[in-house]
């Protein structure tokens, strides 16, 4: 409803801003349509572009080339605001160093303001049709108005209708040919699902624990390492080790998808370990998934350095 109030006052989002809407369920799209909130979101640039983790996983698409170039050339710290549960740097987009979580209405509010360093209490978020300042309090809907809309459009019937035909409504999915049998038929051709190596070559006899001697440091991190730095779930950078692997398997760059979508393939995920583009390895002193191979002094991607250590048995 904040979108409706904003549009009616003549507010809009800045042209340099990237917006997207990816609801967690098709039911959301339905009740946005019934309440007619969707048409106001559309006018502000929040058009449904996908569902689920599309935006927060980094699949909302590239930035305009001019903006991309400016951010890189000027080394700008740019940010995003999303209504999700992950705010790792570089996840929504590789160039976003700061990511903030907020409620859906606040996401719209920040988009209207066009910046994150705003005090909504004292600063306006834009001008109305007559050139007057508009504050967040001027477009924030009353709780009673929100509850009235919720009560009128969100019903059990919507959920029953949508999820009642989950197994039949996707014609393309249902027409896919799949092998039958009690055991999964692994395919070496798939770049999405690969037979995991965890139990291959395993014996019933427990081997004694080997001591670790003369080991080298693979990478040296500070205190701000997150799970997304260790095993990123966002998009696969075109110059990454995982990208080289996929290219060698005949996958076009436009089909790389994300690490999250390829988590069923250990060959991709091993190459994606520490592949976050915002990773800071103190052995290097700059951002990126690189390290120093200690014996040779060579600077390599972390995966390739690990491979060299394994080949040398060190």
pLDDT at 314: 64
pLDDT along the chain (314 residues), means of 10: 93 91 91 94 92 82 88 92 85 87 95 95 94 96 92 92 87 87 89 89 86 90 88 88 96 91 94 92 90 95 95 80
Give the pair of three-digit tokens for residue 51. Answer: 């569902």
pLDDT at 106: 96
In this structure, the strands spanning 133-134 and 286-287 are: unpaired
How many Cα atoms sit within 13 Å of 168 on the Cβ side?
Answer: 4
Taking residue 102's Cβ as centre, other Cβ atoms within 10 Å add up to 16
In terms of phi and psi (left: phi > 0; alpha: psi -120 to 50; beta: otherwise), the region of 132 is beta
Expressed in angstroms, the distance from the first to the final Cα of the chain is 60
| Contact by Cβ (8 Å): 249, 188 | no
Tell me the backbone φ, ψ of residue 10, rounded to 5 degrees: 90, 15
Distance between CA atoms of residues 241 and 233, nearest Å: 15
pLDDT at 49: 86
What pTM value is reported for the model? Answer: 0.83
Give the pair of three-digit tokens for residue 30. Answer: 């339905």
pLDDT at 306: 95
Q: How many residues does the chain have?
A: 314
Distance between CA atoms of residues 291 and 78, nearest Å: 26
Distance between CA atoms of residues 40 and 210, nearest Å: 64
pLDDT at 62: 82
Distance between CA atoms of residues 112 and 12, nearest Å: 6
Which residue, 278, 298, 297, is CA-closest to 289?
Answer: 278
pLDDT at 89: 83
Domains of the chain (ranges, CATH numbers):
2-163 (3.30.499.10), 227-312 (no CATH)
Rounded to an integer, what is the distance from CA 168 to the centroid of its chain? Answer: 28
Give the pair of three-digit tokens for residue 195. Answer: 């037979």
Q: Which residue has the tokens 């080289």?
A: 244
Rounded to an integer, what is the distance from CA 90 to the centroid of its chain? Answer: 8
Q: Which residues of 204-237 are buried (b: 16+ CB within 10 A; e: fewer)?
A: eeeeeeeeeeeeeebbeeeeeebebbebbbbbbb
| Contact by Cβ (8 Å): 277, 250 | no
Which residue, 81, 115, 78, is CA-closest to 101?
Answer: 81
């Amino acid at each position: 409803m904040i979108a409706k109030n904003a549009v009616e006052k003549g507010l809009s989002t800045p042209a340099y801003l990237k917006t997207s809407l990816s609801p967690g369920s098709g039911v959301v799209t339905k009740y946005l349509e019934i309440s007619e909130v969707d048409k106001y979101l559309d006018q502000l640039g929040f058009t449904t572009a996908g569902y689920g983790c599309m935006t927060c996983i980094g699949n909302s698409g590239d930035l305009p080339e001019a903006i991309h170039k400016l951010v890189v050339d000027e080394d700008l710290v740019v940010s995003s605001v999303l209504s999700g549960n992950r705010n790792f740097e570089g996840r929504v987009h590789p160039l976003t160093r700061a990511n903030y979580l907020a409620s859906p209405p606040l996401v719209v509010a920040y988009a209207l303001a066009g910046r994150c360093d705003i005090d909504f209490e004292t600063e306006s978020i834009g001008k109305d049709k007559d050139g007057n300042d508009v504050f967040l309090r001027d477009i924030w809907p009353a709780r009673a108005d929100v509850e009235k809309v919720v009560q009128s459009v969100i019903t059990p019937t919507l959920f029953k209708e949508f999820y009642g035909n989950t197994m039949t409504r996707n014609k393309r999915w249902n027409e896919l040919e799949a092998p039958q049998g009690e055991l999964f038929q692994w395919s070496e051709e798939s770049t999405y699902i690969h037979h995991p190596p965890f139990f291959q070559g395993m014996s019933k006899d427990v081997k004694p624990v080997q001591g670790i001697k003369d080991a080298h440091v693979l990478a040296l991190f500070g205190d701000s390492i997150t799970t997304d730095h260790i095993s990123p779930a966002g998009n696969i950078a075109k110059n990454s080790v995982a990208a080289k692997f996929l290219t060698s398997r005949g996958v076009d760059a436009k089909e790389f998808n994300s690490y999250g979508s390829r988590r069923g393939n250990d060959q991709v995920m091993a190459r994606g370990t520490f592949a976050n583009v915002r990773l800071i390895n103190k052995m290097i002193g700059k951002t990126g998934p690189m390290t120093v191979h200690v014996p040779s002094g060579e600077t390599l991607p972390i995966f390739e350095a690990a491979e060299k250590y394994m080949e040398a048995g060190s």
